[in-house]
């Protein structure tokens, strides 16, 4: 088969465990070769029936970034209304927006449900596997960003129709993520939402069942 | 910030580039600690609003594996009807099924759209971000499997209602993937669907746009 060295194996787990969703970036450009490494990593993701339903719109233009930030800000304000009566700390929501302006590169990742033709193997049974494939590509990109010493943030506060209009994306294409990429001097060791007491990490043991839903055996050896 | 060593960085890219969807497994059990490493990796995936919508049903019971294989086989036969008049090689479709019986462990990965409560941050805008989060978890699991010298296959040929019935999964929970895990002596260096001339890998350069959809600049430095 194959065998990673101990250090290579550590690299995989370090990337998986330390990857964070970053919202503040330094005003330093990203070398193209590093950016392409991220996109290559994304493109090597699994896809149902090998349909490769992803496209990547690389946005460096400041005017377009401002337009995107504007519609994200609109959505953030609309969203905040639903949290008015809660005691959850909302300040950090602001961070979510600044990233798009600060980061030297924004990538709009899209999903094309028609990229594999009429009968994509496996997608006939579960149509949303196209979206799942693109999500795997985004995760690859995130881990590659970590490997390159870059920070990445995934913004999902927007109306797709607004993003389609700004980036001239056809109706049949789904803009599923706005990704900020850049360097940062603010790389937290835990998820932002955990630091801000928004949510806690679940105990893994409680998320695992044995043979049937709802059946928990006693388990040792798990970190949580 | 942080810095991976060159070898650690190589490990990340090796896992991303060499990860394959495997369909044939050896009759060798998996140590629990390795299995848990995969689940820990999955649980460290990003999730919208930190909702952690995933559960993992670990199936080692042979009777249950047979029941799952049966419904997957039913779906494969139904699917094959759509390819009757094409010249695509269908033999390898058989492989897809054997994996579930052969692999010592099958994991049903599910998505719980209600795990974060009523107002999950970011999910209000794009509801399918729950599914995307679980997909990132599956990709983490896949890369961790590679790091552990294990093989993984993702089966998406089934009716969700059939899987719900066999595994006693409630209606509101989505069984989005059946994952086979095990050792293999058949680890291809290219995707099975490429080897079988089902689909080719797209040229990455053609999937990238600049600032707007459909705008391609001349680009160098990409592998394709």
Give the closest-approach CA distance of B70 to chain A in angstroms: 15
**This prediction's pTM:** 0.95
Q: Which chain B residue has the Cα nearest residue A217?
A: B58
Q: Answer with the residue of higher pLDDT: B77 or B154.
A: B154
Largest CA-CA distance found in chain B, in angstroms, rounded: 56
**Tokens for B88?**
């695509």
pLDDT tens sequence across A40-76 = 999 999 998 899 999 999 999 999 999 999 999 999 8
The span from the CA of B61 to the CA of A126, in Å, is 25
Asked whether residue B202 is domain-assigned, the answer is no
Helix (H, G, I), strand (E, B) or coil at A127: coil
B113 pLDDT above the threshold of 70? yes
What pLDDT does residue A199 have?
84
A92 pLDDT above the threshold of 60? no
Are the Cβ atoms of B50 and A8 closer than 8 angstroms?
A: no
Asked whether residue A1 is domain-assigned, the answer is no
Asked whether residue B194 is domain-assigned, the answer is no
A224 pLDDT above the threshold of 60? no
Q: Is B195 on the interface with A (CB under 8 A)?
A: no
Asked whether residue B40 is domain-assigned, the answer is yes
Give the closest-approach CA distance of B9 to chain A in angstroms: 5
What pLDDT does residue B224 have?
52
Q: Are A182 and A25 in contact (CB under 8 A)?
A: yes
> Taking residues A198-203, what's their average pLDDT?
89
Q: Tell me the residues of chain B between 119 and 148 that have a Cβ less than 8 Å away from chain A.
A: 119, 121-126, 128-129, 131-136, 138-140, 142-144, 146-148
Are the Cβ atoms of B149 and A119 closer than 8 angstroms?
A: no
Q: Where in the sequence is the domain holding B87, given as residue range(s)?
A: 19-116+125-187
Helix (H, G, I), strand (E, B) or coil at A92: helix
Helix (H, G, I), strand (E, B) or coil at A197: coil
Chain B contact set for A55 (CB, 8 A)? 207-209, 213
Q: Answer with the residue of higher pLDDT: A58 or A79.
A: A58
The pLDDT confidence band at residue B173, using thresholds 50, 70 and 90, is very high
Pick from B138, B143, B156: CB nearest A125: B156
Q: What is the CATH number of the domain that holds A71?
A: 3.40.109.10
What pLDDT does residue B169 have?
98
Return the top range by mean pLDDT from A70-79, A114-123, B31-40. B31-40
> Kind and range of the H or E element at B135?
helix B129-147
Are the Cβ atoms of A7 and B2 closer than 8 angstroms?
A: no
Asked whether residue A101 is domain-assigned, the answer is yes
The pLDDT confidence band at residue B92, using thresholds 50, 70 and 90, is low
Asked whether residue A206 is domain-assigned, the answer is no
pLDDT tens sequence across A122-164 = 788 899 999 999 999 999 999 999 999 999 999 998 999 999 9
Asked whether residue A201 is domain-assigned, the answer is no
What pLDDT does residue B181 have?
98
The pLDDT confidence band at residue A215, using thresholds 50, 70 and 90, is confident
Contacts of B87 (CB under 8 A, 6+ apart): none
Domain count along chain B: 1
Q: Tell me the residues of chain A between 29 and 88 that have a Cβ less than 8 Å away from chain B.
A: 32-33, 36-37, 39-41, 43-46, 48-52, 54-61, 64, 75, 79, 82-83
Asked whether residue A12 is domain-assigned, the answer is no
């Amino acid at each position: 088969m194959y065998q990673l060295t101990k250090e290579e194996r550590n690299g995989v787990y370090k990337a998986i465990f330390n990857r964070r969703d970053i919202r503040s970036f330094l005003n330093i450009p990203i070398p193209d070769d590093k950016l392409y490494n991220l996109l290559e990593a994304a493109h090597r993701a699994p896809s149902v029936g090998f349909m490769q339903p992803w496209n990547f719109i690389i946005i460096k233009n400041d005017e377009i970034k401002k337009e995107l930030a504007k519609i994200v800000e609109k959505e953030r304000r609309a969203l905040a209304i639903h949290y008015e009566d809660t005691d959850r700390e909302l300040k950090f929501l602001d961070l979510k927006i600044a990233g798009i302006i600060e980061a030297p590169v924004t990538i709009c990742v899209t999903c094309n449900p028609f990229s594999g033709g009429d009968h994509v193997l496996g997608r006939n049974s579960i149509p949303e596997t196209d979206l799942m494939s693109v999500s795997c590509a985004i995760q690859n990109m995130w881990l590659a960003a970590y490997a390159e010493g870059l920070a990445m943030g995934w913004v999902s506060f927007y109306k797709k129709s607004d993003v389609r209009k700004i980036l001239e994306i056809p109706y049949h294409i789904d803009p599923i993520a706005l990704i900020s990429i850049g360097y940062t001097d603010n790389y937290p060791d835990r998820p932002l939402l955990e630091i801000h007491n928004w949510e806690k990490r679940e105990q893994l043991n409680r998320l695992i069942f044995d043979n049937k839903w709802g059946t928990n055996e006693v388990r040792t050896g798990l970190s949580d």
